Amino acid sequence: MMRATTKTLRLFSSSGITAKRYFSSSRASFLQYKHVDTEYNNAQTPFDFTPESYEEIKKILAKYPAKHKQSGILPLLHLAQRQNKGWIPLAAINKIAEICEVSPKNVFECVSFYTMYNTTPIGRYQIQVCVTTPCMITGSDDILAALEDHLGIKLGETTPDKMFTLSEMECMGCCTNAPMIAISDYSSPEAFKYDYFEDLTVARTIEIVEMLKRGEYPKVGPQNGRRNADPLGGQKTLLFEDGDLPKPYCRNLDEQPPQQPATPQQK
C-alpha cells in the first residue's frame, strides 16, 4: 500500500493495546509503531460508539456468520474513524476487539496495515495524492509539490487551522483518469464524504482547495469534461470514419469459399 519501507514494533498491555503509530508519508522514511503516550491518545483517552453507531454495528455484524465476527473489523474501524473525525484512538481499537471477540492485536494489525486508517488526529479534509506510476508520469509529483507549497505543509502534516491534512496513497483504481486525488470530509459522521477528483492539473487542484476553503464542494470525478472513464473523444472506438456503426458480418451460404493457397504439406 505504501512505497515507504516499514518497520514495526508492537507493544501490548493486559488491558489492551498501548501502541501509537507515528505516521510519516515521506518516501525516504519508514513507518514506526511504538508505545508513546500523548495528550490526545493514551490509556485514559475515552471512546465509545454512539447509540446510532451501535445500531449500525448490528447491521454490519448481521452480514457475517455469528462465529466470524472478526469479519466486521474493517467496517467497524471505518465507522469509528468517521465518528471520531478522521482518526482511530487506541480505545476504539480495544472496543472493536471486544465487539468482534478477538485480541486487540488483531485489530491493531489491520489499522497498521491499511493506510486509509489514521491513528493521529487529522484536519477536516484529508487530501490523498495518488503516487503510483500512471499518476506519477502524468504529473502527480507536480500536484503534490503544489499542494505542499500552497498549504504550507509537508506530507503527513496538517494545516495550523486544522482544515487540511496532506497524505499520499498508492493506486486508487482510476489509472485511465490520472492524475487524481481523493478527498475525505470528516467534519461529522453525517457529512462524511470520500470522493475522487480525476484528470487533474496543478491549477485545477489548487482551485479545488480554494473552493473547500470557501465552503463550496467541487464537482467530483473527471475535471476535464470526460464522462466516467470514457475516451476523451467519446465512445468512438467501434465507429467507422464516417461515424457509422459497423454491421455484423453475414456470410452468403450459396457463395463458394475462397480458394486458399496450398500448404507445403499439400504440395
Task: Give the three-class secondary structure for 198.
Answer: strand
205, exposed or middle or buried, with CB in 10 Å at 0-12, 13-18, 19+? buried
Supply the mean pLDDT for the chain.
83
Tens digits of residue pLDDT in 239-265: 666 666 666 666 677 777 667 676 666
pLDDT above 70 covers a percentage of the chain that reads: 77
* Residue ranges matching CATH 3.40.30.10 in the chain: 125-222
100 is in an annotated binding site: no
Is residue 3 predicted with pLDDT exceeding 80?
Answer: no
CATH number attached to the domain at 125-222: 3.40.30.10
The pLDDT of 138-147, averaged and rounded, is: 96
Nearest to 111 by CA among 44, 41, 196: 41
Those residues whose C-beta lies under 8 Å from the C-beta of residue 190, and which sit 6 or more positions away, are none
Amino acid of residue 208 = I
Q: Is 175 annotated as a binding residue?
A: yes
pLDDT at 241: 65
Where are the domain boundaries for CATH 1.10.10.1590 in the chain?
5-113
Is the confidence at residue 179, as pLDDT, over 50?
A: yes
Higher pLDDT, 216 or 260: 216
| pLDDT digit string, tens, across residues 7-65 | 333 344 434 444 333 344 444 333 445 547 788 888 888 999 999 999 999 999 999 99
Of 51-60, 105-114, 160-169, the poorest mean pLDDT is in 105-114
Alpha-helix runs per DSSP H in the chain: 51-61, 73-83, 90-100, 104-113, 133-137, 140-151, 202-213
Decide yes or no: CATH 1.10.10.1590 for domain 5-113: yes
Check the annotation: does 250 bind a ligand: no
**Model pLDDT, residue 38:** 84
pLDDT the model gives residue 11: 40
The position carrying cell 465518528 is 83
174 is in an annotated binding site: no
